[in-house]
Amino acid sequence: MVKILLTGGAGYIGSHTYLALVQAGFDVVIFDNFSNAKEDVPLRLQDLCGHTVDVVKGDVLDRRDIADVFNAHDIDGVVHFAAKKAVGESVEQPLDYIHTNVGGLLNLLAAMDDAGVRRIVFSSSATVYGDTDVQPIPEDHPRAYTSPYAYTKIAGEQILEQLSDDWAVGILRYFNPVGAHQSAMIGEDAEDIPNNLMPYIAKVATGQLEELSVFGDDYATPDGTGVRDYIHVEDLADGHVLSMKSLLETNQSHTVNLGTGEGSSVLDVVGAYAEACGQDLKYKIAPRRDGDVAVLTARPDKAKQELGFEAKRSLSDMCKSSWAWVSGQRRNVK
């Protein structure tokens, strides 16, 4: 059975990818330091997949930890999620972000090379495109960082591009991942005051937060609010399965956007979420947020051509799954 190592596999996207890989017939090991994941995620995954979940607690910054995993398991490929991902926080802690995201990747690649494991799917981000009017964005658009976080993703991609031909690398540029698993047993464990839109709206819907601040309604968009390409986290997980399958079958590398190609405004999301939770959601118009761009949407066709990937779930599905998760409507679907 093909065995895949998921670094950061107990996190939001990692845990959903765990389930998708298991469902696709892979054997999966989670490697996580639980700095940004709840300790009970493996137990919930166990309930969902009906078998013991292989978890190794460790840190990609610890060479011994990561070497031990490759000594203990016959790994065929790696999906690398373990990284810090908050743009704003990266501006305050640039060295920490570079150390964790770039240093951690270098540690992982050294351990993989020592173990003769040379198939890796890398969690990248649309933020590598910087601030651009080219919308939807194609993968050959130039890269330009606008934050230390974006720098670490560009640096990671460039390091991976230096590897010799006996490596096969899947670089996946996420747009805006949202939503939760259909069972509502796993989802995004957001911070108390979320930075991102949907987790914030979710906390307004549950009454944990008073009202949403809409960061600007004077953008050159249909309703003046920011437009983004939201993608359901289960679609995103499916994209990782297709990426790993392609690496293992073709030994060819790829770099693709993972998005829907559809743009939704902040007020579109507020409306869809209100529909999903059956209540009006309080919001006020606030000043623009520094660093925000008006529109950010993916050209999705390269992922379709190279991996056969196509996002299937709608904005309504995303909001309904998020609402089921935050309102505790757990359903143990296998």
Catalytic residues: 149
How deeply is 280 buried, as exposed, middle or buried, from its count of CB atoms within 10 A (0-12, 13-18, 19+)?
Answer: exposed
Interface region with ligand WQD, contact rule CB under 6 A, candidates 9-17, 99-107, 131-139, 211-219: 211-219
Contact range with ligand WQD by CB under 6 A, out of 29-37, 43-51, 208-216, 307-315: 208-216
Report the residue from 23, 93, 135, 213 that binds ligand WQD according to the rule CB under 6 A.
213
Per CB under 6 A, the list member of 289, 304, 312, 331 interacting with ligand WQD is: 289
Pick 176 or 183: Cβ nearer ligand WQD: 176
Q: Which helix (H) or strand (E) holds 172?
A: strand 168-174
104 forms part of the interface with ligand WQD (CB under 6 A): no
Residue 200 vs 309, nearer CB to ligand WQD: 200
Give the whole-angstrom CA distance, residue 23 versus residue 173.
23
Is residue 14 part of the contact set for ligand WQD (CB under 6 A)? no
Instruction: Give CA–CA dist 98/1, Å, rounded.
Output: 35
CA distances from 206 to 106, 187, 210 (A): 41, 15, 10
- Residue 13 main-chain phi, psi, to 5 deg: -75, -35
Output the CA–CA distances (angstroms, integers) from residue 4 to 69, 163, 245, 281, 288, in the order listed. 11, 20, 11, 41, 42
Instruction: Show the binding pattern over residues 222-261: x = contacts ligand WQD (CB under 6 A), - = does not.
Output: ----x-x---------------------------------
Under the criterion CB under 6 A, does residue 196 sit at the interface with ligand WQD?
yes
194: left (phi over 0), alpha (psi -120 to 50) or beta: beta
Taking CB under 6 A as the binding criterion, the range among 135-143, 193-201, 271-279, 305-313 that sits at the site for ligand WQD is 193-201
Q: Read off the tokens for 251.
A: 């030994």
Q: How far is the CB of 62 from ligand WQD (least distance, A)?
A: 24
- Does 36 bind ligand WQD (CB under 6 A)? Our answer is no
* Identity of the residue, 33 or 176, whose beta carbon is nearer to ligand WQD in the bound complex: 176
Side-chain-side CA neighbours of 187 within 13 Å: the count stands at: 27
Closest residue to ligand WQD in the complex (CB): 226
Smallest separation, CB 150 to ligand WQD (Å)? 7
Residue 127 contacts ligand WQD per CB under 6 A: yes
Angstrom distance (rounded) from CA 95 to CA 82:
16
Sheet with 254-258: strands ordered across: 54-57, 27-32, 3-7, 77-80, 119-125, 168-174, 254-258
Please give the residue ranges that form the binding site for ligand WQD (CB under 6 A).
85, 87, 125, 127, 174, 176, 195-197, 200, 212-215, 226, 228, 266, 289, 292, 296
